[in-house]
Amino acid sequence: MSKQKMLKFTDVPRLMPEKRTAEARREDFNEIYREYADEKAAEQASRCSQCGVPYCQSHCPLHNNIPDWLKLTAEGRLQEAYQMSQATNTFPEICGRICPQDRLCEGNCVIEQSGHGTVTIGSVEKYITDTAWEEGWVEPIRPHAERPESVGIIGAGPGGLAAADMLRRAGVQVTVYDRYDRAGGLLTYGIPGFKLEKPVVMRRNKQFEEGGVQFVLNCNVGEDISFAEIREKHDAVLIATGVYKSRDLGGPGAGLPGIVRALDFLTASNRKSFGDEVPEFDSGELNAKDKRVVVIGGGDTAMDCVRTAIRQGATSVKCLYRRDRANMPGSQREVQNAEEEGVEFVWLSAPKGFTGDDAVTGVKVVKMRLGAPDATGRQFPEEIPGSEYTEDADIVIKALGFEPEALPSLWNTPELEVTRWGTVKAKFNTHETDLPGVYAVGDIVRGASLVVWAIRDGREAAEAMLAKFNEASASVAAE
């Protein structure tokens, strides 16, 4: 392979795919970045310096072989680039869109560290796999031989589906149970279309269905079928249920109508995008149109809510966060996108209660300052006495994070061990729980995390299950 194709970072500046104008973005739920033109993707990939020790790769949770697929892209060998990229990642086109690259692969790229601007790894990854879908290079799931073992997966989010994919490719009989009517978990109903267009997720769901993965949808485990029944039906079970209990706010007026949970708001909006009937949206309860919106929180869920409210036609959208911009958990790239679209950030501000009689009319706010660092090293926000004021609002969206549901009691399985935070205890590498044949992955183990970590967990759990199945069949054969 020709060396000159690479190491162009000193001559070629970093260039993201073109971003649609903020005015155009406010009008719809389509993704905000356009696709690279072929030559631009190759040019951007050619900026990679082909590091001997690629920090991008070690900071990618999937340890994607980034330098090699960048090189193949730069050389125009896209089909090979795709083959390499999909070997380690179940959903490269999804990670390319929604991984917080600035904290993972790109944030650790050596040319970023040397001040030249990171290689746009995520955008190239998305480009490679989108092209593969367009060109028909994405092959259907066709196991070489069927296996007798059967696995029940509870939760059709990225963790459960990554495991389903690997198991099915190996010929295992896979059934995925989910309480929603569509597979995809938060990819389908949490993350808005302007970050991840829904046909991208549905196309994968179809691929799994056509590959023989059985989906049992609208099935709430613990209500429609018991956990014990699922264990009886399958040789192994994977818990991949995510975290859905919203953290709440107290204070006077906290129960007023018009104060809603982030995930209810986002799910209603995503359902509308699918063309579903959503009475709570049509009634205005979960619709920001013509309203003054206040979102409370500083994470990525809060960013998704403010940007959804803008697209729904809110008259104003403010985001209240108790720390400052530098100390917020959400991605800076998303804050910038939100600001461009017209969101106002009210930093160092915390809610103390709500005004209103029959419905919320405002948030009582107290201003904060950052004090001494706490045990984690983060500066602790303190109230500034006498700084209270009211922020007017017709709808208040609580985006304060998520906690696990109490699975042992919901599933009548007290023997399922959980941590003091309620997350399921599972072995670090194999993802086995203390219950024989039961594995757990993704947010229900890690707490609210990232898609890419759920994918990694799901793939590792599938490998561990396959190893167990192979061991068992080898010992039967030896008898």
Which range touches ligand SF4 (CB under 6 A), out of 96-104, 209-217, 390-398, 434-442? 96-104
Task: Name the residues that contact ligand FAD, by CB under 6 A.
Answer: 98-99, 154-160, 177-180, 185-186, 190-191, 195, 220-222, 240-242, 266, 300-301, 304, 442-443, 449-452, 454
Using the CB atoms, write b or e for 306-336: b if 16+ within 10 Å: bbbbbbbebebbbbbbbbbeeebebbeebbe
Q: What minimum distance in Å lies between the beta carbon of 237 and ligand FAD?
A: 12
Longest dimension (CA), the chain: 79
Q: Which three-class secondary structure state does DSSP give residue 352?
A: strand
Closer to ligand SF4 by Cβ: residue 98 or 236: 98
Q: Choose the contact partner of 440 out of ligand FAD, ligand SF4, none; CB within 5 to 8 A by kind.
A: none
Question: Encoding tokens for residue 326?
Answer: 């530098």
- Cβ proximity of 460 and 261 under 8 Å: no
Closer to ligand SF4 by Cβ: residue 42 or 259: 42
CB atoms within 10 A of CB 362: 19
Closer to ligand FAD by Cβ: residue 264 or 339: 264
Closer to ligand FAD by Cβ: residue 297 or 362: 297
x/- site string to ligand SF4, residues 116 to 155, per CB under 6 A?
Answer: ---x-xx--x------------------------------
Q: Which of 32, 42, 62, 288 binds ligand SF4 (CB under 6 A)?
A: 62
245-246 and 402-403 strand pairing: antiparallel
Closer to ligand SF4 by Cβ: residue 88 or 423: 88
Q: What minimum distance in Å lies between the beta carbon of 337 and ligand SF4?
A: 17
Question: Encoding tokens for residue 448?
Answer: 């609210």
Q: What minimum distance in Å lies between the beta carbon of 227 and ligand SF4?
A: 32
Question: Encoding tokens for residue 292?
Answer: 């003054």
CB atoms within 10 A of CB 34: 12
236-239 and 438-440 strand pairing: parallel
Q: What minimum distance in Å lies between the beta carbon of 165 and ligand FAD?
A: 13
Q: What minimum distance in Å lies between the beta carbon of 188 and ligand FAD?
A: 7
Find the helix packing angle between 66-74 and 38-45, rounded to 10°.
130
* Among candidate residues 249, 241, 359, the one with its CA nearest the CA of residue 295: 249
Give 365's strand partners. Answer: 351, 389
Closer to ligand FAD by Cβ: residue 114 or 419: 419
Which residues, in sequence order, are CB contacts of 367 under 8 Å at separation 6+? Answer: 348, 349, 383, 384, 387, 388
x/- site string to ligand SF4, residues 19 to 58, per CB under 6 A?
Answer: -----------------------------xxxx--xxx--
- Could you please report the per-residue DSSP string of 280-337? HHHTSTT--TT-EEEEE--SHHHHHHHHHHHHHT-SEEEEE-SS-GGG-SS-HHHHHH
Q: What minimum distance in Å lies between the beta carbon of 127 and ligand SF4?
A: 12
Q: Choose the contact partner of 14 out of ligand SF4, ligand FAD, none; CB within 5 to 8 A by kind.
A: none
Q: What minimum distance in Å lies between the beta carbon of 410 and ligand FAD?
A: 7
Residues making contact with ligand SF4 (CB under 6 A): 48-51, 54-56, 60, 62, 64, 66-67, 89, 95-96, 99, 101, 104-105, 109-111, 119, 121-122, 125, 452
